[in-house]
């Protein structure tokens, strides 16, 4: 969060080690992970993106997961960097609050 807050507009568009993904894309991916984890584990929500998908092989699982991540990043590209930072702060707080409700020896990822 501290690093994101220091970035100028050009830095958000810089490439990363993930081919085809900018710094902003990585932030959007992190936001999607936070929201997905909270929806799935805290709220017991089953992501419809994965319904009726063949996930029996590693290759199909990775392909489906990559497609879902790509779709999320493209759909959220319209968010400004400031809004992304604000949303990451909010989801980070939600995530931390949820983690504090769990038995540390019984947490499953």
pLDDT of residue 107: 62
Distance separating alpha carbons of residues 41 and 19, to the nearest angstrom: 30
pLDDT of residue 34: 96
pLDDT of residue 108: 64
pLDDT of residue 104: 84
pLDDT of residue 50: 85
pLDDT of residue 47: 87
What is the DSSP track for 41-84? IIS-PPPGGGTT---SSHHHHHHHHHHHHHHHHHHTTTS-HHHH
Give Cα 29 to chain centroid, integer Å: 4
Stated pTM of the model? 0.88
Residues of the chain under the 70 pLDDT cut: 107-109
């Amino acid at each position: 969060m501290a690093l994101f807050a220091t970035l100028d507009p050009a830095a958000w568009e810089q490439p990363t080690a993930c081919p085809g993904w900018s710094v902003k894309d990585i932030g959007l991916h992190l936001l999607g992970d936070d929201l997905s984890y909270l929806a799935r584990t805290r709220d017991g929500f089953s992501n419809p993106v994965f319904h009726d998908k063949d996930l029996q092989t590693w290759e199909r699982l990775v392909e489906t997961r990559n497609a879902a991540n790509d779709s999320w990043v493209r759909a959220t590209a319209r968010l400004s960097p400031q809004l992304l930072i604000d949303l990451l702060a909010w989801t980070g707080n939600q995530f931390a609050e949820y983690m504090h409700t769990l038995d540390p020896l019984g947490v499953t990822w």
